[in-house]
A = this chain, B = another copy of it.
Amino acid sequence: MSDAGGTTRRRGRPPRAESGDTRDRILDTAREEFSERGFEKTSVRGIAKAAGVDAALVHHYFGTKEQIFEAAIEVAFAPALEAPTAIGDGPLDRVGEQLTRFIFGIWENPTTRKPVLAIVRSAVNNDAAATVFRRLIATQVMQRVAARLDAPDAELRVELAAAQLVGCAMLRYVIRVEPLASADPERIVARLAPVVQGHLTGP
A positions within 8 Å CB-CB of B: 38, 120-121, 123-125, 130, 133-134, 138, 142, 155-156, 159-160, 162-172, 174-180, 183, 188, 191-192, 195, 198-199
What's the Cα separation between A160 and B167 when bound, in Å?
8
Contact of A123 among B123, B133, B175 (CB under 8 A): B175
Closest CB pairs A-B (n = 7)? A167-B167, A163-B167, A166-B167, A163-B168, A159-B180, A164-B164, A124-B124
Taking a contact as CB atoms under 8 Å apart, the answer to whether A160 and B180 are in contact is yes
What's the Cα separation between A174 and B126 when bound, in Å?
10
A185 to chain B, nearest CB (A): 13
CB-CB < 8 A to A166: which residues of B? 167, 170-171
What's the Cα separation between A104 and B73 when bound, in Å?
31
What's the Cα separation between A38 and B166 when bound, in Å?
22
CB-CB < 8 A to A188: which residues of B? 160
- Chain A at the B interface: SS class: helix
What's the Cα separation between A179 and B156 when bound, in Å?
6
CB-CB < 8 A to A198: which residues of B? 195
CB-CB < 8 A to A130: which residues of B? 174-176
A203 to chain B, nearest CB (A): 10
CB-CB < 8 A to A159: which residues of B? 171, 177, 179-180
A111 to chain B, nearest CB (A): 21
Taking a contact as CB atoms under 8 Å apart, the answer to whether A162 and B155 are in contact is no
What's the Cα separation between A179 and B166 when bound, in Å?
17
Taking a contact as CB atoms under 8 Å apart, the answer to whether A180 and B163 are in contact is yes
A40 to chain B, nearest CB (A): 10
CB-defined A-B contacts under 8 Å, sample of 5: A133-B175, A138-B177, A160-B191, A163-B170, A167-B168
**Given A160-B168, A164-B164: A177 touches B134 (CB 8 Å cut-off):** yes
